[in-house]
Amino acid sequence: MHTLKRSALLATLLLAALAARAAEFTVGAELPLTGSLARVGAGMHEGVMVAAEVFNRANGKHKIKIVTVDDESAPAKAIAAVEKLAGMGAVAITGGYGSNNIAPASSTADKLGLVYITSGGVDDSLVAAGRRNFFRINNTAGYEKAALGLFGDMKVKGVSIVYSTKDATSDLARSVGKALAAQGVKVAEHPFDPAITDFKPIVNKIRLQDRPDAVFMVGYENDYVGILRAARVLKPQVKAMVGVWSLATPKMAAEFPDLMPNVYGTALLPYPATFTGADGKAFADTYRQLYKKEPDYLGQFGYVQSMLLFEAIARAADKGTVAKGGIAEELRRTDRDTLIGRVQFAANGDNVHFSHRMGQHQGKNIVIVWPPQHATGKMAYPAVPW
């Protein structure tokens, strides 16, 4: 009896001691929830919230509390958002969308000694600026690999690249153009102002002057719709319409069923999505439970970056180094398979293993067509939406 009482007392003391060491960490989510990037910001925010939910459910010891501040798609507001989050006791920042917003926001975080992790900016200057606490899980190189891989499989001889003059889109377009030209592919570049609404003059130049095998679109959802609609009117004799982010998504298939058939875009998952691992299932189930819809790639990126951050916070907390730069240290030690593939950060904070996949709208589904080891179907080529 005495032994039982002693054991109970010991267990109570142990639990009390553990409870005393357990902590709730505030993590700041700085994202555009209004303004021109609201759509993508909201999508990524969903992934952040799913990660917090999954982490808190699985991790009995440490808890994560997300505090979100809208940066209104504006660089100055992004700086203010990070400063506000620091003032609210955030130990790190997850989020950011648009390289123009991420650059000043992450500089501010760096000055405040806060880790900043993102998947929303592919401008290479973000990782070349020497920020010690900056981490990114995707990059231009990963998108470039996917586009070049697909064009290689298509054996294209000419590509017209239509791209928005924003930093991230210009970087990717020029990089792919340079690589294609080096392979002997005839490349024509058509940069356009983000404010442009009528793409017919550009598509007409492609139709009459360039006469390429494929059109490569590097822009955002509204640009893709404009280009595809102009192409549907002018019907250039091309074999494929290829784009990058925000294009091969279930949302685009549902919203623009007439414009999307046979169009290619970067896609991490086929649609309907299939998650095989425990992490993927936890993500998808929680996502559906919280948002009553199918998970998309923005949520997936937001989830991965946030989960890696939360795990680093937990490890640093166990070592008592959260306030001594331990979160950044733990992220630098990260090497793990995630929903977007293997993640390991280089000294500049960039994920060295990132490589995207290419999907194609086929009927109501999205089929992964590149790389071959992840392909879920064959590409329809030549094939265009009209």
Partner 1 sequence: MTELVLQALYSGVLAGGAYALVALGLALVFGTMRVINLAHGELVLLAAYVAYTVESRLGASPLAAIPAALALVCAAAAAVHFVVARIHVDREINSLIATFGIGVILTNTMLLVWSADVRSTSSPWLQEAVVAGPLFAMRGELVSFGASLLLMGALWWWLAKTWHGRAVRAVAGNRDAAQLMGVAPGRAELVAFLVAGMLAACAGVALYSVGVIQPALGAALTVKAFVITVLAGVGSIPGVLLGAVLLGVAEALTVTLASSALQELAGMGLFLLVLFVLPNGLLGATARRG
Instruction: Give 2-6 contacts, CB < 8 A, sequence gap 24+.
Output: none
Q: Which is nearer to partner 1, 16 or 233 (CB)?
A: 233
End-to-end Cα distance, the chain: 82
Closest approach of partner 1 to the CB of residue 266, in Å: 18
Residue 42 near partner 1 by CB under 8 A: yes
Taking the complex as a whole, how short is the minimal distance between the CB of residue 254 and partner 1, in angstroms? 10
What's the closest the beta carbon of residue 191 comes to partner 1, in angstroms? 4
Per DSSP, 196 falls in state -
Task: Decide: is 255 part of the binding site for partner 1 (CB under 8 A).
Answer: yes
Q: CA distances (Å), 254 to each of 257, 260, 304, 365, 374, in order?
A: 6, 9, 25, 10, 24
Contacts with 182 (C-beta within 8 Å, 6 or more apart), sequence order: none
Q: Which stretch binds partner 1 (CB under 8 A): 221-229, 267-275, 341-349, 357-365?
A: 221-229
Contact window for partner 1 (CB under 8 A) among 1-9, 29-37, 277-285, 305-313: 29-37
CA 216/CA 324 separation, integer angstroms: 46
Instruction: Find tokens 């760096």 and name the residue.
Output: 110
Taking CB under 8 A as the binding criterion, the range among 131-139, 229-237, 267-275, 298-306 that sits at the site for partner 1 is 229-237
The burial class, CB within 10 Å (0-12 / 13-18 / 19+), for 195 is exposed
Tell me which amino acid residue 122 is.
V
Give the tokens for residue 151: 């064009």
Binding status of residue 80 toward partner 1 by CB under 8 A = no
- Coil, strand or helix at 72: coil
Give, in degrees to the nearest 5, the angle at Cα 117 between 90 and 355: 160
Nearest alpha carbon to residue 62 among 279, 284, 327? 327
Q: Which stretch binds partner 1 (CB under 8 A): 5-13, 231-239, 273-281, 324-332?
A: 231-239
The rounded distance, in Å, linking the Cα atoms of 344 and 337 is: 9
With respect to partner 1, which residue has the nearer C-beta, 41 or 120? 41
Quick one: which of 26, 56, 59, 165 contacts partner 1 (CB under 8 A)? 165
With binding defined as CB under 8 A, does residue 222 bind partner 1? yes
Q: Which is nearer to partner 1, 246 or 334 (CB)?
A: 246
Q: Helix or strand or coil: residue 35?
A: coil
State in angstroms the smallest separation of the CB of 268 from partner 1. Answer: 20
The verdict on 292 binding partner 1 (CB under 8 A) reads no
CA distance 218 to 264: 12
Taking the least distance from each CB to partner 1, the nearer of 197 and 373 is 197
Site string for partner 1, 175-214 (x = CB under 8 A): ---------------xxxx-xxxx-xxx-xx--xx-----
Cα separation, 194 vs 236, whole angstroms? 23
- Taking CB under 8 A as the rule, does residue 216 contact partner 1? no
Interface with partner 1 includes 257 (CB under 8 A)? Answer: yes
Q: Is 36 in the site for partner 1 (CB under 8 A)?
A: yes
By CB under 8 A, tell whether 375 contacts partner 1.
no
Read out DSSP for 167-233?
HHHHHHHHHHHHHHHHTT-EEEEEEE-TT----HHHHHHIIIII--SEEEEES-HHHHHHHHHHHHH
The DSSP secondary-structure symbol of 210 reads I
Residue 348 is a binding residue for partner 1 (CB under 8 A)? no
Site membership for partner 1, residue 73 (CB under 8 A): yes
Contacts of 29 (CB under 8 A, 6+ apart): 45, 48, 66, 67, 68, 69, 93, 94, 95
- Pairing, β 365-370 against β 358-362: antiparallel
Tell me: does residue 174 bind partner 1 (CB under 8 A): no
* Candidate segments 28-36, 107-115, 277-285, 362-370, binder of partner 1 by CB under 8 A: 28-36
Site stretch for partner 1 (CB under 8 A), options 4-12, 119-127, 171-179, 255-263: 255-263
- Nearest distance in Å: CB 235, partner 1: 7
Binding site for partner 1 (CB under 8 A): 34-36, 38-39, 41-42, 73, 162, 165, 190-193, 195-198, 200-202, 204-205, 208-209, 221-222, 225-226, 229, 232-235, 251, 255-258
